[in-house]
Amino acid sequence: MAEECCEPGGKVMILACSGASNVGQIANQAAVELTREGFGKMYCLAGIGGQLSGFVQSAKDVPEMVAIDGCSVGCAKAILENADVTVKSYVMVTNLGIKKSHDFDLQEKGTRMVKEAVRHACAQFRPARSVSTAPKCCCSS
């Protein structure tokens, strides 16, 4: 049985870079914390990058999504574009003034800044549909 990957009722699909730098890890940590806080649900960007049909289709179907990239390389955005998935909202950690490094020393302040930027980027989303009209997600392949 397929696990439901995006919950109806206004929650946001969160797709985050988890690259080999502090900003990639900050993007990932922000996605984890936003999921724990109930803002949205973190989703497997690697499944989309691997062109796994259920993952790609779920990303295409979800009405509310945000991609979080660590830096200007833009891996998350490129993965979505290569899978023909529309990038609906987008946040880049380095655009928030956080410098990229390879020390993996994550600052709580940086994670808070990214979470606030994601919330701001997604402010346009309003849960205007009922559970019965929300799209169904298909994660299994």
> 60 with 14: CB under 8 angstroms?
no
- pLDDT tens for each residue of 59-113: 999 999 999 999 999 999 999 999 999 999 999 999 999 999 999 888 899 999 9
Phi, psi of 91 (to 5 degrees): -135, 135
Are the CB atoms for 65 and 42 separated by under 8 Å?
A: no
Minimum mean pLDDT among 9-13, 46-50, 74-78, 98-102: which range?
9-13
CB 60 within 8 A of CB 85: yes
> Which structural domains are found in the chain, ordered by start?
12-124 (3.40.50)
Q: In sequence order, what DSSP letters do the residues of 72-103 get, joined into one string?
A: TT-HHHHHHHHTT----SEEEGGGGTPPP-SS
Q: What pLDDT score was predicted for residue 75? A: 97
Q: What is the pLDDT of residue 104?
A: 85
